[in-house]
Structure 1
Amino acid sequence: MDILSLARQAGFHELESEDIEQVLASHTEELTNEDLQLLTEHSAAKDDDEEEEPQRTLTTKRMAEVFDMIQQGMQIRRCVEKLAQAPPKPQSCL
């Protein structure tokens, strides 16, 4: 199968063999300084468009808060386990 057949199967029905030859020939040519400058500017503009996520840092204060929450969770779990093991108390009638 040739490139033209594959391109048409991919949906490029208007593509002609001359178009393919032109693209292939263009890749054998060296880039001019102007071409390189345009590529560099395009790349820099693309980098500016991409928003970077702010880097999140974990402070010692935040770590202490998280460890405290974990400790509280473990205490709650121990209390629930004790309640589950306790003998049932008779319910009072209202």
Structure 2
Amino acid sequence: MNIDEVKQTISRGNTAAKQGRETLERGVTEARDAGMLAQRVTHDSAHDHVTQMSRKLNELRLELERTVRRYESAIEHANSYAARI
């Protein structure tokens, strides 16, 4: 594999990573929206299931946000490597 082929492979990988990041970003929005809706619907409830659900939705959103940042970092590092070779 020559340098140009490596750069093309990195570019295709970045395209896939960007698509994955966009999917995860939609997931972040949906998790945030679901959390806000659940909060409005259950605002006076102290039931264990309600508090667990709220906590789980928040954990989901935070994990999705972390994963989005990982994708961004991977894309950045791949671009940096491709520029150096």
TM-score by length of 2: 0.36
More helix by percentage = 2
Which protein, 1 or 2, shows the higher relative CO under an 8 Å CA cutoff with sep ≥ 6?
A: 2
> Which protein shows a greater Rg?
1
